[in-house]
Amino acid sequence: MIWELKDWQEPCYNSSNGRCKALFKWNNTNKFIYEETTNIVSPILSFKRPHSRALYYSLLNIILTFMGLFHPISYYLIKNNFDFANTTIILIIQLSGSAFFRILFGIICDKIGCRLTYIFIILFGSLFGILNIIYELKIYVLCFFLGILSAGFTISEIWVITMFDKNILGLTTSLIGGIGNFGIGLIYYINYLIHTNKIDYIVVIYFPYILLIINTFLIYYFTDDTPYGNISKLKKLYLNNLKSENENQNDNDNDNDNDNDNDNDNDNDNDNDNDNDNDNDIDVNIFVDDLDNTIYSYYTNDNNINIQRMQNDLHFKKENIISIIKNVKILSIIFTYLLSFGLEITLYTNFQKNGTIKHKLTLERKIQILFVFSIINLIARPIGGYISDINYSKFKIIGKIKTYIIFQLLLLINNIYLQYYINNNNDLINELFINILIIKIFISIINNFLQGSIIGLIPHFNDNIGASIGIAGAFGILGGIIGNILFKYYSNFIALTIINGYTIVIIIINVIILL
């Protein structure tokens, strides 16, 4: 379906790009424009339009892709009571693949849209997931290509950014991340149930990939790339209209060559009339951007022209990658995500040993702790995004930036306290495992607040969303690799000293660049 410009009007939607401006309730609706508002239907429950469908499928896809990503390693870790050979090496290889494919598919998504990109990710990722189960993670190349599924995070974030306006991007993007990370704890818990109940049916063992493959049909037939429709159809429509305009222009040129001077005068008069009519069809939309600059945007009732503008905004160009690298604001956000998401991965993968911390845990207790961390992701990350949006509504972009920096400061304080606590109780490290775990849970909560405020900042500083989100996601994975190396080869004190030192540097850079 091709949506027209007239379908998206204020105050429910951003009339310049069709993005929805609300998630749970319509704001500032002075008159009933759409059937959703007339029937008091919440935006998130409005299935007729593409926005909520994109959100639901993004949430469903991200939890399934993350479950598929961590299914092989969790399956064999639980089967071997967390004593599986070369676990760290396998994890680092898988994370390396995740970083690479997040960038690659982010760029591809800018080119062909979210739907087709997601389908490719699911089909190829599921294939390598099944192969990793069959070969028991012994072929490292297969572990690397399993990272394809991690690109689901990039595409889900791009999808909601394409569908929802900047005033609610904190909440929508953080919902995606929270649900995805929750999928990690969920697949561990499911595999624990499979192991304890000794279920070995093929359908059960491969269930994440079966669900993913089924979901590709739903994505293809029931979703849209953008508020205007699917990119492939929009491109075809635009090219056909452009071809027709060129043919009409050529016909007019030939007619003009055969006309006499009087006819030319009449044609000129008609052209002037047409120009006046076209002028009447163009609306001047005056608004103030995030930096308090007055912007004059011209939008025409000719939907094809607006489609062209949208295509230019979404279409990938090589110079956009260079612009990301040169954009110091985007770089500061990306390196912050390296810290934040990297720390989260490190908490997930080192909770039972914590470097030199040794504490015997039953398999059931290990799964319960992992599930606690996943629930923290599910709840705390959207809260952080919501707080960011609240401050944006009150103080504009500066409110988002200050929220983002405050969360970094809180994270630093908690990390320093953990470092101090471990260093001063080193002789009692085994007995104080539970105390240290509680501190790390508080760190995870603050860290998820921070993660919830990060991704929603990116569209404010760069329009090349796919590549930007892909690079940010890749750096987050890179942070996880670095964190695992630190806690594997160094003591807690040294590892935390490096992390805290990096955090201080990042805070200073963000204050200088963003404020």
Residue ranges covered by each domain of the chain:
50-227+317-514, 231-314
Question: Has residue 392 got a pLDDT over 50?
Answer: yes
Tell me the two tokens of residue 229: 């429709």
| pTM of the entire predicted model | 0.83
Residue-level pLDDT at 147: 96
| Rounded Cα distance, 135 and 131, in Å | 6
Residue with tokens 């089909």, as numbered in its chain: 123
Q: Please give the pLDDT value at position 49.
A: 77
Exposure b/e, 128-152, CB count within 10 A at least 16 = b: bbbbbbeeebeeeebbbbbbbbbbb
| pLDDT value of position 241 | 66
pLDDT at 29: 55
- pLDDT for residue 419 is more than 90: no
Which of 263-267, 381-385, 457-461 has maximum average pLDDT? 381-385
Among candidate residues 185, 150, 187, 209, the one with its CA nearest the CA of residue 480: 150
Say whether pLDDT at 206 is over 60: yes
Per-residue burial over 57-68, b if 16 or more Cβ lie within 10 Å, else e, is bbbbbbbbbbbb
* Most confident of the following: 3-7, 77-81, 238-242: 77-81
**Predicted confidence band of residue 5 (pLDDT cuts 50, 70, 90):** low
The amino acid sitting at 190 is: I
Q: What is the mean pLDDT of residues 76-96?
A: 86
Assess contact for 453 and 314: CB atoms under 8 A: no
pLDDT value at residue 353: 54
80 is written with which tokens? 């071997």
Give the range among 293-307, 341-355, 374-388, 485-499 with minimum mean pLDDT: 293-307
Of residues 74 and 264, more confidence is placed in: 74
| Mean pLDDT in residue range 71-97 | 88
Looking at per-residue pLDDT, the higher value among 276 and 359 belongs to 359
Say yes or no to pLDDT of 286 above 50. no
Cite the DSSP H helix spans in 4-86. 35-38, 50-79
Q: What is the pLDDT of residues 343-355, one digit of tens each?
A: 988 877 776 554 3
Q: Kindly report which listed range (59-73, 358-372, 452-466) carries the lowest average pLDDT score.
A: 358-372
Q: Are 2 and 228 in contact (CB under 8 A)?
A: yes
Task: Write the pLDDT tens digit of every residue in 307-334.
Answer: 555 555 444 445 567 777 788 999 999 9
Q: List Cβ neighbours of 121 (8 Å cut-off, separation of 6 or more).
A: 65, 101, 105, 148, 149, 151, 152, 155
Residue 292 DSSP code: S
Question: Which pLDDT band holds residue 295 (cuts at 50, 70, 90)?
Answer: very low
Report which listed range, 99-108, 232-241, 249-258, 460-469, is most confident. 99-108
Please tell me which residue, 258 or 101, carries the higher pLDDT value. Answer: 101
Question: For residue 431, what pLDDT band results from cuts at 50, 70 and 90?
Answer: low
| Architecture of domain 50-227+317-514 in this structure | Up-down Bundle (1.20)
Mean pLDDT calculated for residue range 179-193: 93
Q: Which residue has the higher pLDDT, 433 or 230?
A: 230
Write out pLDDT tens, residues 490-506.
888 898 899 999 999 99
289 confidence band (pLDDT: 50, 70, 90): very low
CB contact set of 136 (below 8 Å; sequence gap of 6+):
76
Q: Which pLDDT belongs to residue 44? A: 76
Ranges 293-297, 398-402, 473-477, 502-506: which has the least confidence: 293-297
* Cα–Cα dist 65/150, whole Å: 7
- Lowest-confidence segment of 270-284, 326-340, 407-421, 442-456 by average pLDDT: 270-284
Confidence of residue 28 (pLDDT cuts 50, 70, 90): low
Question: What mean pLDDT is predicted for residues 222-227?
Answer: 88
